[in-house]
Amino acid sequence: MSIKSFAAKLFAKKIYNDTQKWVQKPVETQQKVLEMLIAKAAQTNFGKDHHFEGIRSHADFAKHVPVRDYEDLKPYVEKVVKGKEDVLWPGKPLYFAKTSGTTSGAKYIPLTKESMPYHIEAARNAILHYINETGKAEFVDGKMIFLQGSPELEEKNGIKFGRLSGIVAHFVPAYLQRNRMPSWETNCIEDWEQKVDAIVEETYNEDMSVISGIPSWVQMYFERLEKKGHKKVGEIFKNFSLFIYGGVNYEPYRAKFENLIGRKVDSIELFPASEGFFAYQDKQNAKGMLLLLNSGIFYEFIKADEFFSEHPKRYTIGEVELGINYVMIISTNAGLWGYNIGDTIQFTSTKPYRIIVSGRIKHYISAFGEHVIGKEVESALKEAMEGTDVRVNEFTVAPQINPDSGLPYHEWFIEFEKEPTDMNAFSLAIDKAMRKQNVYYDDLISGNILRTVVITKVDKNGFQKYMKSIGKLGGQNKLPRLSNDRKIADAL
């Protein structure tokens, strides 16, 4: 055992023990976070506008601070972008994470000196929890790669901005820099396909032990490695032992990845976003990710099926229940208040509080009142694939309301790596799994309102071509699992 891996184990034990202190007091921890946020921001423009000095409880907070999305918060953000101080949070942000919004054009999410460290610590602590649980630390001696956006930043009114993953690249701890890949020059390549090719050339002969990124884009990297070496990724990188991912559910990709790698490797799931780092997988065999209650973020939860009602109840951490689909609302030390990030989650455990991401509040299918969510289509595909050698590269689902003939249906666009031998049986297996999960969908099939699932095969690299056509190839961009319209379907 190297000195580095021995030190990692000692540090991992300390971090685990530190985490347990707030894990054991979740409600108290969140109350302290809320009190801290209100006190710190009381004299900001937002704090004065929303009577922070008079807030004494969560009920007061919910009364004075409405739930907002980016469009609603934009008037405040625009002041910050123009260089004004003390608007949403004391002083000015360190950075803006620039993301592409669907209705707002570019979105500028503030990152402050208080919020930025939590993005770094959460990613680090996820790895340290894995080391503490498994005792595996040898990978720290190998090379690590993080597929991410360009670290080159622009500047607006004295505040730098860029992609979150590019900003984070500036904060990689010194003890990881020697092991980290790709090179700065390669990381700065904007064209994603050129970048992946350059990463392949740079890493092919290295001792890669940890690989991290959004599964769909790591898949492209693996495919090009395999093409170059004419062998499995696990043979090219004999010490590759840990895959770290976030952004999308790994399960639809798992069979494909294990085929590309040639063996199983451990994995850690993360839940990062520009707005905050919310959760990470703290146990290999526990379902869900540990919700980070002590990271400068106060959480509220609204039941998804009540979200669009006039006055939905806002639940705090001590009031949530298992298995219910909640919209997650955050208030943060970056100056986001009552902010709807758009993700829906479900709790898998309350001791400690663990969550899974179940979808997006705007990404669902309810063309016929079925309200199908992302978790359901991912689970249905996984169930249909079990016990088969079917492998899927990518998929999305859309309603077909006006077919040329017959009843309407849900159309599944799937890019297969390995097709089912019986496509009809496979589509029926998906349909059966969907009916089991969603009673409304089941009623629509039983009542002959809908016919069973229709699968449309997408040509190889079809989804990559689509993402490229809309300027969202690579980086942190993700394909929606489902849509309530035909925009993506028609493009495909």
- What band does 476 get if pLDDT is binned at 50, 70 and 90? low
List CB contacts of 411: < 8 A, sequence separation 6 or more.
397, 398, 399, 400, 453, 454, 455, 456, 489
Measure the CA angle with vertex 219, ends 358 and 465; round to 5°.
90
> Cα 362 to chain center, whole Å?
15
Q: Among candidates 122, 43, 57, which has minimal Cα distance to 335?
A: 43
CB atoms within 10 A of CB 123: 22
- State the Cα torsion 283-287-292-298 to the nearest 10°: -170
Query: What does the pLDDT read at residue 457?
Result: 96
Lowest mean pLDDT among 37-41, 123-127, 361-365: 361-365
pLDDT at residue 159 in the model: 92
Predicted confidence (pLDDT) at residue 25 exceeds the cutoff of 60: yes
> Per residue, what are the HEC states of the chain?
CCHHHHHHHHHHHHHHHHHHHHHCCHHHHHHHHHHHHHHHHCCCHHHHHCCHHHCCCHHHHHHHCCCECHHHHHHHHHHHHCCCCCCCCCCCCCEEEEEECCCCCEEEEEECCCCHHHHHHHHHHHHHHHHHHHCCCHHHHCEEEECCCCCCCEEECCEEEECHHHHHHHHCCHHHHCCEECCHHHHCCCCHHHHHHHHHHHHCCCCEEEEECCHHHHHHHHHHHHHHHCCCHHHHCCCCCEEEEECCCCHHHHHHHHHHHCCCCEEEEEEEECCEEEEECCCCCCCCEEECCCCCEEEEEEEHHHCCCCCCCCECHHHCCECCCEEEEEEECCCCCCEEEEEEEEEEEECCEEEEEEEECCECECCCCCCECHHHHHHHHHHHHCCCCCEEEEEEEEEECCCCCCCCEEEEEEEEEECCCCHHHHHHHHHHHHHHHCHHHHHHHHCCCCCCCEEEECCCCHHHHHHHHCCCCCCCCCCCCECCCCHHHHHC
> Is residue 440 scored above 90 in pLDDT?
no
pLDDT, tens only, 213-233? 888 788 889 999 999 999 999
pLDDT at site 193: 85
Confidence of residue 151 (pLDDT cuts 50, 70, 90): confident
Looking at per-residue confidence, does 440 or 288 come out higher?
288
Mean pLDDT over each residue of the chain, to the nearest integer: 91
What is the tens place of the pLDDT at every residue in 51-104? 999 999 999 999 999 999 999 999 999 999 999 999 999 999 999 998 765 444
pLDDT for 100 equals 62
pLDDT of residue 362: 75
pLDDT at 104: 47
Rounded distance, CA 150 to CA 189, Å?
A: 7
For residues 7 and 140, what is the distance between their CA atoms, to the nearest angstrom?
10
Tokens of 126: 């996820």
Q: Give CA angle at 346 (341, 349), nearest 5°.
A: 130
Tell me, what's the pLDDT at 350? 96
Q: How many Cα atoms are found within 13 Å in the side-chain-facing hemisphere of 65?
A: 35
CB distance 478 to 363 below 8 Å: no
How many Å apart are CA 110 and CA 89, to the nearest integer?
9
CB atoms within 10 A of CB 59: 10
Bigger pLDDT: 107 vs 41:
41
Q: What is the pLDDT of residues 310-361, one digit of tens each?
A: 899 999 999 999 989 999 999 999 999 999 998 899 999 999 999 998 877 7
> What is the spatial distance between Cα 358 and Cα 383, in angstroms, rounded to a whole number?
16
Among 288-302, 393-407, 472-486, the range with the most confident prediction by mean pLDDT is 288-302
Please report which confidence band the pLDDT of residue 175 belongs to, taking 50, 70 and 90 as the band edges: low
Looking at residues 412-440, what average pLDDT do you find? 94
pLDDT in the model for residue 103: 43
User: What amino acid is encoded at 231 in this protein?
Assistant: K
Identify the pLDDT of residue 278: 97
pLDDT in tens, 280-308: 999 999 999 999 999 999 999 999 888 88
Average pLDDT over residues 7-18: 95
